[in-house]
Amino acid sequence: MSEMDDLLALQEVDLVILRASKRLEGLPQREAILANRKKQAEVDAKAAQVKALKDQCEAKLEDLQTRDAQLAAKIDETQALINEADDFRTVDDLTEDLVRAVKAREKVDFELTSQLELMDRIEGTSRQVEQASQQLKAKELELANSFKQEVLDLRAKVAQAQESRKQLLERISPDLLRRYESVKTSKGGIAVAVNLGDRCSVCNVTFQEGQRINLQRGPAIATCPSCGRLLLRRDGKLG
Ligand SMILES: [Zn+2]
Give yes or no for a contact between 77 and 22, defined as CB atoms under 8 angstroms apart: no
> Ligand 1 centroid to 195 CA: how many Å?
9
Instruction: Judge whether 180 lies within some domain.
Output: yes
Q: Are residues 186 and 98 in the same domain?
A: no
What φ, ψ does residue 232 adopt, rounded to 5°? -90, 125
Q: Are residues 112 and 40 in the same domain?
A: yes
CA distance linking residue 195 with residue 238, whole number of Å: 7
Model pLDDT for residues 15-63, shown as the tens digit of each residue: 999 999 999 999 999 999 999 999 999 999 999 999 999 999 999 999 9
> Ligand 1 centroid to 223 CA: how many Å?
8
Integer-rounded Cα radius of gyration of the chain: 42
pLDDT at position 234, please?
Answer: 80
Q: Are residues 145 and 28 in the same domain?
A: yes
> Ligand 1 centroid to 169 CA: how many Å?
24
> Ligand 1 centroid to 200 CA: how many Å?
5
> Ligand 1 centroid to 201 CA: how many Å?
7
Q: Are residues 185 and 165 in the same domain?
A: no
Tell me the average pLDDT across 148-171: 97
CA distance linking residue 157 with residue 16, whole number of Å: 8
Domain boundary residue, one of 154, 171, 188: 171
Model pLDDT for residues 67-118, shown as the tens digit of each residue: 999 999 999 999 999 999 999 999 999 999 999 999 999 999 999 999 999 9
Instruction: Judge whether 147 lies within some domain.
Output: yes
Domain boundary residue, one of 171, 201, 220: 171
> Ligand 1 centroid to 4 CA: how many Å?
16
Instruction: Judge whether 35 lies within some domain.
Output: yes
Estimate to the nearest angstrom the gap between the alpha carbon of 18 and the chain centroid. Answer: 25
Model pLDDT for residues 167-205, shown as the tens digit of each residue: 999 999 999 999 999 999 999 889 999 999 899 999 999
Q: Are residues 127 and 186 in the same domain?
A: no
> Ligand 1 centroid to 184 CA: how many Å?
13
> Ligand 1 centroid to 231 CA: how many Å?
7
pLDDT at position 204, please?
Answer: 96
> Ligand 1 centroid to 160 CA: how many Å?
29
Does position 207 have pLDDT exceeding 70, yes or no? yes
> Ligand 1 centroid to 196 CA: how many Å?
11
Give the DSSP letter string of the chain: --HHHHHHHHHHHHHHHHHHHHHHHT-HHHHHHHHHHHHHHHHHHHHHHHHHHHHHHHHHHHHHHHHHHHHHHHHHHHHHHHHH--SHHHHHHHHHHHHHHHHHHHHHHHHHHHHHHHHHHHHHHHHHHHHHHHHHHHHHHHHHHHHHHHHHHHHHHHHHHHHHHHHHHHHS-HHHHHHHHHHHHHTTT--EEEEETTEETTT-PBPPHHHHHHHHHS-SEEE-TTT--EEEEEES---
pTM: 0.72
Q: Are residues 92 and 107 in the same domain?
A: yes
